Chains A and B, each alone.
Chain A
Amino acid sequence: MTRKYTATELLASVAAGLLEDNSSVFVGTGLPMIASMLAQRTHAPNLLIIFEAGGIGPQVPVLPISVGDSRTFYRAVSASSMHDVMSASQAGYVDYGFLGAAQIDAYGNLNTTVIGAWDHPTVRFPGSGGANDVGSLCWRTIIVMRQDPRRFVEKLDFLTTPGYLDGPGAREAAGLPAGTGPYRVITQLGLFDFDEATKRMRLLAAHPGVSVRDIEEATSFELIVPDRVDTTEPPTDAALSAMRDIDPTGMVIGK
């Protein structure tokens, strides 16, 4: 019997499970930080965490508020610079990148710029930040976001960050580094990957208590649903304790 957990704790523990020991991960604010710190405190003690402002290989003591926070280079191997970490990503040293988004499409392209027209937006979001760089340069991108029909869309209002663009071969044709692209999508409903042949999003696993129908109803594009859909593992007690230690004020995981 596992303890009660929040949706965010489930997301973070599923995300943490994707990160192997001795791999490198480019981490953004919020849930990606929890997931990476959790992985480092459980199965991946030598996970190399990289922050865009220049923190390399920290042992993050408590959840940072910002990707440039002093906590992002606490007991780090290097307090470096944006040029250095972005160059390392461009040169192929970064295995995983973590991103969030306001909208995603079937090819894993992301929007964090505007809702509505770009020059007359209904809602103005912060823009690319490091997202386009992470989605362009890291080997495998993991996207963590909320799923509903307005967020899982057929057509983005703005393509901020490249997924597989419009299908197989499109990234390479655009000049993006070969062999890169979206790897997994994690939402409050389930876990997804991308079909090798079409590069379209495919359901891998539903969270406990979530049906395939729930997931399809929360998706505005045609989702690939295989015959066999797994159920994700809920967070263990050890993972829950670790997360409450990482985020004692409940800033991201909630209370």
Chain B
Amino acid sequence: MSGVPALLVEDLWAGYDGHIALESVSFVIEEGCLAGLVGPNGSGKSTLLRAILGLHRPWRGLVLVFGRPADRRQMGYMPQVEVADWAMPITALDVALMGRYGRLGLLRRPGRRDREKAMEALDRVGMAHKARCRLQELSGGEQRRVLIARALAQEARLLLLDEPFAGLDAPAQHELLHLFQGLRGEGRTLLVATHDLTCVATHFDHAVFLNRRVVAFGPTGEVLNEDVLQKTFQRHLLLVREGGIYAEHS
């Protein structure tokens, strides 16, 4: 493990139509971490991920991935699930294969190697046996895993995931979490945007607390305290501390 952080963000400012969504955001994520990006709705989590990927132009700021300027094709990405079209006739393998497109460029077709990589990715998430199934036939959790396979097929060391737990029941969430921990074990770095505070507190090793500005970042054990939570969630949070578990209440 080298000393170069997986992700370095410095003084990032971004917004829309004159509204500030991100204000002087700075944080560092080391390689091999499972980091949560936590904040209430509207705190700018999606915007931050998109700004890191270069999908959203920041007004100013520096983003370095493994010490180099960010190249979105080398970051695994799982966007928020609402924007995808589930009615499309497409198989799990097709979806996983999409992850390879970034490497192919225009006009080239996926070859055998790409197909192999896609299958490997599906296997990694435990969906290889359903490679030929239509997406519509899969359960919510399975679909989510296929999307992660897509991010994995990109063969990236840094993965950015936007609300992967949204709409899943508890068992499915656990499955995903288990997968994330496995990926971390392989040496990958994951930054997961979520507003599930409990999950982050319990299973993630690092966290970035965001509410337009970075309230705090670092190992969960260190940064998770009432002050940080208050500043992040403000009136959104009703603190119920019971055995170290915090509940969010708006």
Does A pair with B? no
- B binding-site residues for A, Cβ under 8 Å: none
